[in-house]
């Protein structure tokens, strides 16, 4: 984190982004049953691109976008195209609450990837945090309704899709901090969405639903594209530049809170005791692995 950065310089954006991304699970679930996973992901990044492009042109940063096109293509694939498709796929068969709790494994994958890629070997304490966090994810998966089966109606593929998405997020955060720290947030946000839009265009059109989606489904994707993607990514990359990838990834503490509240009150979802306990284990492991809960802080 930048030396001398005060909490008020980043905390409001941090909480706001947690609320926005917590709501994204609700909006995607409302849209995916009519659009399908690939068209949902494509429409999400397309709407986000249309939202962000005018601001990019207004700030006259298109030259930076051209210079960074290779990095932006990678970010578009691993931070948007693949994870958006994976979560849209998962939300067809598991709840927003379960998927949002699985989303909290993102910092664990970030720490693991930093260890393997950057040789940032964790201390023994952080290593125990990784083990604890992934154990919580395994417990949560095992307790999913229908069990972890890869048959029709089972949750296996959906859970695997969520974990694939979070591993992509973890990789992208490290990649952004390492290679794009000095690139303006608007360039990263708009460029990555434009790249994801191009990558998903053909699959999205190929799997476009035969029946025209309802107004409610369109409004849901409009919300997730404009708010949960366009606006959210500008805030996200600003936070990475301000506070670093490790602290920014701890947003996963807030996202399940807001996602579960929305799921319970808007979708009548049930949050079980096992989900809560497994979520606490995941978040505790995440805190240990990311250094937010250091061993020396204990009495």
pLDDT of 162: 92
Rg over CA atoms, the chain: 18
pLDDT of 9: 66
67 in a domain, yes or no? yes
2 in a domain, yes or no? no
The dihedrals phi and psi of 293, each to the nearest 5 degrees, come to -130, 70
Dist CA 294 CA 291 (whole Å):
5
Dist CA 25 CA 79 (whole Å):
16
1 in a domain, yes or no? no
pLDDT of 2: 47
pLDDT of 89: 95
299 in a domain, yes or no? no
pLDDT of 152: 56
Q: Is 18 exposed, middle or buried (0-12, 13-18, 19+ CB in 10 A)?
A: buried
Give the structural domain span for 43.
Answer: 7-294
87 in a domain, yes or no? yes
pLDDT of 299: 40
Neighbours of 151 (CB within 10 A): 9
102 in a domain, yes or no? yes
77 in a domain, yes or no? yes
pLDDT in tens, the chain (299 residues): 444 566 666 778 888 888 898 899 999 999 999 999 999 999 999 999 999 999 888 888 888 888 888 999 999 999 999 999 999 999 998 888 889 888 888 888 887 888 887 776 777 877 887 888 888 888 887 776 655 566 655 678 888 999 999 999 989 988 887 888 788 888 988 999 999 999 999 999 999 999 999 999 999 999 999 999 888 888 887 887 777 766 776 677 778 888 888 888 888 888 788 888 888 888 888 777 766 666 544 44
pLDDT of 135: 87
Dist CA 207 CA 127 (whole Å):
42
Count of the separate structural domains present in the chain? 1
Instruction: Count how many Cα atoms sit within 13 Å of the Cα of residue 221 in the half-sphere of its side chain.
Output: 24
pLDDT of 7: 65
Model pTM score: 0.85
pLDDT of 8: 67
pLDDT of 13: 84
218 in a domain, yes or no? yes
């Amino acid at each position: 984190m930048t030396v001398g950065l005060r909490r008020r310089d980043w905390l409001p954006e941090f909480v706001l982004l947690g609320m926005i991304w917590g709501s994204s699970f609700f909006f995607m679930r409302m849209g995916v049953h009519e659009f399908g996973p690939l068209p949902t992901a494509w429409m999400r990044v397309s709407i986000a691109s249309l939202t962000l492009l005018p601001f990019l042109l207004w700030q006259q940063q298109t030259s930076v976008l051209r210079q960074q096109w290779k990095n932006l293509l990678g970010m578009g694939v691993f931070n948007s195209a693949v994870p958006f498709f994976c979560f849209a796929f998962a939300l067809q068969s598991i709840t927003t609450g379960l998927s949002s709790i699985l989303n909290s494994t993102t910092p664990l994958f970030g720490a693991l990837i930093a260890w393997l890629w950057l040789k940032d070997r964790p201390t023994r304490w952080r290593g125990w945090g990784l083990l604890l966090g992934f154990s919580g994810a395994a417990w949560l998966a095992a307790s999913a309704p229908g069990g972890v089966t890869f048959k029709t109606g089972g949750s296996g593929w959906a859970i695997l899709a969520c974990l694939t998405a979070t591993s992509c997020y973890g990789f992208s955060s490290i990649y952004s901090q390492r290679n794009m720290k000095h690139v303006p947030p608007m360039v990263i946000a708009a460029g990555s969405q434009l790249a994801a839009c191009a990558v998903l265009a053909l699959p999205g059109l190929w799997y476009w639903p035969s029946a025209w989606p309802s107004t409610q489904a369109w409004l849901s994707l409009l919300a997730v594209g404009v708010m949960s993607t366009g606006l959210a990514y500008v805030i996200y990359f600003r936070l990475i530049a301000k506070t670093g990838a490790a602290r920014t990834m701890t947003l996963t503490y807030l996202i399940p809170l807001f996602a579960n509240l929305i799921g319970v009150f808007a979708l009548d979802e049930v949050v079980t005791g096992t989900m809560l306990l497994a979520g606490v284990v995941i978040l505790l492991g995440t805190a240990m692995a990311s250094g937010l809960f250091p061993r020396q802080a204990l009495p």
